[in-house]
Amino acid sequence: MTQAYQKVAYYPGCALEGTAHAYDRSTRAVAKALGLEIEELQNWNCCGAMEVKSTDPKLQTYLSARNLGIAAKMGHTAVMAPCNGCYHNLKKAEYDLRNDPASIETEKRISTKAGHASYQPGTVETIHALDWIKKAIGEDGLRARVKKSLSGLKVANYYGCMYSRPRHIFPEKDKGPGSESTLKPHFMDDVLGAAGAVNVEFPLKTACCGGAHTLSDSDTSTRLVLNILTTADACGADVIATECATCHSGLEMHQSRGEKVFGKKTNVKILYFTQLLGLALGLSARQVGVHENFSDSVGMLRARGLG
């Protein structure tokens, strides 16, 4: 187990304060249940998300670097970001500040203007919530802590496209046994498997959900999501487990839109992996924010004695 991850800086990001509040709630609840300590970054800012990145990628690097600098100032060596977009952007900032002179110059210029120190790359490691649980607790540790096994619950683990792409910003991945794979990610499978879930084979685990175009081109997004949902149904999944705020919202909203606009009903439920893990650790559905999800999974969970 990685001792360094027993206490980490926590960067929730904007989505977890809004549409993905259930992800924030369940992440905090799981941390408490597992005895892990998370300390929220003080005065954090948006990571630059898709909007800033599209307009000015160097500004996005600065915004993410500022958050990393805050984690360093608070004395942390690791910052945990549950949102794939935030995780991706912090990783990208780290990479750019090591390799791109223009990004370094922009970050220094804006930091000076804002009156704080520049972030020194390599000071803080960015980890995803999956890395954090997998490495701080591990599968054996989880098995020992499970109070209500997810036994029998068939889960399609959906990682989305930002968790492992582009490969060059994730130098710690693809390092063989124990490391995450960018081609076939498995950390969520490992974690939920240890909690008693049956992971179904799901061929679209890293496929695009159309998240970037969910407002500008809803039909494209709905079609992509419907294909993900029908594939999960066909794979026999009861639940799609998510680990990305954007993907999760997209799956939920387009599941509903798919039925209304395209007349296509899908049955699979959608839950954050932290919600499933929390239920397995004996937390109630309310404690992990199931009531905050857009789709209703309460009946299915009750029928299985969960939550």
- By the criterion CB under 8 A, which residues form the site for other proteins? 161, 165-166, 183-184, 201, 203-204, 206-208, 210, 213, 216-220, 223-224, 227-228, 230-231, 234-235, 261
Q: Decide whether 46 or 161 has the Cβ nearer to other proteins.
A: 161
Nearer to other proteins, 93 or 228 (CB): 228
Query: Shortest Cβ distance from residue 201 to other proteins (Å)?
Result: 7
Q: Residue 66 or 254: which CB sits closer to other proteins? A: 254
**Spatial separation of the C-alpha atoms in residues 280 and 271, rounded to whole Å:** 13
Q: Would you say 152 or 203 has its CB closer to other proteins?
A: 203
Q: Which of 248, 241, 292, 246 is nearest to 25 (CA)?
A: 292
Least Å from the CB of residue 73 to other proteins: 32
We find the least distance from the C-beta atom of residue 287 to other proteins, in angstroms, to be: 35
Of the candidates 26, 273, 36, the one whose C-alpha atom is nearest the C-alpha of residue 150 is 273
Least gap, CB of 213 to other proteins (angstroms): 6
* Phi/psi at 78 (5° precision): -140, 135
Considering the complex, state which of residue 72 and residue 207 has its C-beta at the smaller distance from other proteins.
Answer: 207
Q: How many residues does the chain have?
A: 307
Spell out the alpha helix ranges (H) of 206-297. 218-234, 245-262, 273-280
Nearest to 222 by CA among 241, 207, 240, 209: 209
Measured from the CB of residue 181, what is the shortest distance to other proteins in angstroms? 10
Residue with tokens 């993907």: 247
Q: Which structure tokens are listed for 80?
A: 């945990």
